[in-house]
Amino acid sequence: MLRAGEIPIVEDGLSELVKNGLASGNLEFVLGAAHAAKDCEFAFLCVPTPEGEDGQADLRYVEQAAKELAPVMPHESVVINKSTVPVGSTRVVERVMKRPDVRVVSNPEFLREGSAVHDFLHPDRVVVGADDQTAALRVAALYENINAPVVVTDASSAETIKYAANAFLATKISFVNAIAAICEGVGADVRDVMRGIGYDRRIGNEFLRPGPGWGGSCFPKDTLALLKIAERADYRFDLLQGVVEVNLQQFDRMASRISQAAGEGGTVAVWGLTFKALTDDLRDSPSLEIIDRLIAKGHSIRAYDPTVAKSLRGYPAVVVCDSEIAACEKSDVLAILTEWENFRWVDPSDVIHHVASRHVVDTRNLLDRSAWRTAGFTYQGVGR
Ligand code: UDX
């Protein structure tokens, strides 16, 4: 598929980029790390580092790739680690490779799914970490056409930056979700509160959207991995532990809200299954966390997501529908779990004749609240 320029995931702009690379001859896909790295000056390791059994990052793919590269990398070449790895892993790669003439450099990525191409070409910063500063500067030079500050550090600092950035962003969102809960109790609107604090440049106005809780392939595994790293560094990271707990609480709170609106054994129409919009990634999706809880409470689920066709693997009981309206058929509550833009434009008067009861729980504050209320629905958002 890759050789034909076909990208098996939803990622804006990636297919065009790969097709252009193939057409110009700058990009080629081959089998095997050794085959790819033969005669190269730089080799990027971009393999997954899934969560191991005890929450620590599982380094087996990194080690495997390093082993394959070791015999073929030319003298004085550089291996660049882009995978999110525990602090100290640059040395693990060096140890596995046993090639003192090859430098290992850490160069974490901060791409978001859904805007990965844009984020790569327009990063806020580039981080390059190595104990050999000459090697770090050689890697920094690869980014000379990209307009962003380059932060050159030692290897351990670069590895720590990646975890600290993700944990900080997760902290921001858990904080917002906690403030949202307070707003509901005191009659404030969290969106105004976030606007009011976001203009403070020390706080910044991004990553302040309340929601069903954070998920995806990075935040959940990276926060747990950082807790493990802290433990090994002999520090009790109570703050980050709290951030993770607030997130679990948020799944529980949203599931209870939806369950109550549905009534006992009621059918829930779910709009959105992916962990956020503009991706087809279901890994650690808050939507699935909430569906798990709803199923445990005895609800039936009818779901629609623009990127999920037919069935949801691992969820035989969830009926996957082919449109927003079909998901609402005879449902007792409509739950918005992912912020797909299309959902915003569905006319509530088209939905009315399909539902059994008129209730909406909008965990993304996506819909036009007054339009749905005018159409006769009860509407609950988050933090409003
Ligand atoms: C994240 C980091 O942003 C990125 O820098 C890193 O390289 C990989 O991990 P990603 O997992 O693609 O990227 O998703 P992101 O956009 O950060 O969203 C993560 C989760 O937080 C999603 O579930 C999203 O819905 C949620 N979120 C995000 C909120 O609930 N509110 C916000 O304001 C922002």
Residues 325 and 262 placed together within one structural domain of the fold? yes
Domain boundary (126, 153, 180) is at 153
CB-ligand 1 contact for 143 (6 Å cutoff): no
Mean pLDDT of 204-226: 97
- pLDDT > 90? residue 88: no
Compute φ and ψ for 319, nearest 5 degrees. Answer: -85, 115
Residues 88 and 25 placed together within one structural domain of the fold? no
Quick one: pLDDT band at residue 327, thresholds 50, 70, 90?
very high
- pLDDT > 90? residue 198: yes
Residues 109 and 125 placed together within one structural domain of the fold? yes
Domain span at 40: 31-153
Residues 25 and 44 placed together within one structural domain of the fold? no
Residue 88 lies in a domain: yes
Q: Residue 237 Cα, ligand 1 centroid: separation in angstroms?
A: 21
Domain boundary (124, 153, 182) is at 153
Residue 173 lies in a domain: no
- Could you report how far apart the first and last alpha carbons of the chain are, in Å? 46
Residues 145 and 42 placed together within one structural domain of the fold? yes
Other Cβ atoms closer than 10 A to 375: 16
Element (H, E) at 164: helix 155-186
Task: Name the residue at shortest CA distance from atom 10 of ligand 1.
Answer: 112
What CATH number does residue 355 fall under?
Answer: 3.40.50.720
- pLDDT > 90? residue 57: no
The label of the residue with tokens 């706080």 reads: 203
Strands (E) in the chain, as ranges, are 42-45, 78-81, 103-106, 126-129, 150-153, 267-271, 300-304, 319-320, 333-336, 359-362, 378-380
Active-site positions read: 218
Residues 262 and 351 placed together within one structural domain of the fold? yes
Task: Name the residue at shortest CA distance from atom 21 of ligand 1.
Answer: 214
Quick one: pLDDT band at residue 304, thresholds 50, 70, 90?
very high
- pLDDT > 90? residue 56: no
- pLDDT > 90? residue 245: yes
In the chain, the percentage of residues whose pLDDT exceeds 70 is 100
Residues 305 and 364 placed together within one structural domain of the fold? yes
* Residue pLDDT, tens place only, 346-367: 999 999 999 999 999 999 999 9
Domain boundary (108, 136, 153) is at 153
Residues 318 and 261 placed together within one structural domain of the fold? yes
Mean pLDDT of 276-282: 97
Residues 21 and 123 placed together within one structural domain of the fold? no
Residues 17 and 117 placed together within one structural domain of the fold? no
- pLDDT > 90? residue 51: no
| pLDDT recorded at residue 52 | 87
Residue 297 lies in a domain: yes
DSSP assigned state of 305: B
Quick one: pLDDT band at residue 84, thresholds 50, 70, 90?
confident
Residues 18 and 41 placed together within one structural domain of the fold? no
Compute φ and ψ for 41, nearest 5 degrees. Answer: -90, -30
Residue 355 lies in a domain: yes
Residue 263 lies in a domain: yes
Contacts of 101 (CB under 8 A, 6+ apart): 75, 76
Residue 346 lies in a domain: yes
Mean pLDDT of 324-328: 98
Residues 19 and 69 placed together within one structural domain of the fold? no
| pLDDT recorded at residue 54 | 86
Task: State which ligand 1 atom lies nearest to the alpha carbon of 108.
Answer: 7
Complete edge-to-edge strand list for the sheet that includes strand 78-81: 42-45, 78-81, 103-106, 126-129, 150-153
Strand-strand pairing, 359-362 and 378-380: parallel
What is the model's pTM? 0.96
Domain count, the chain: 3
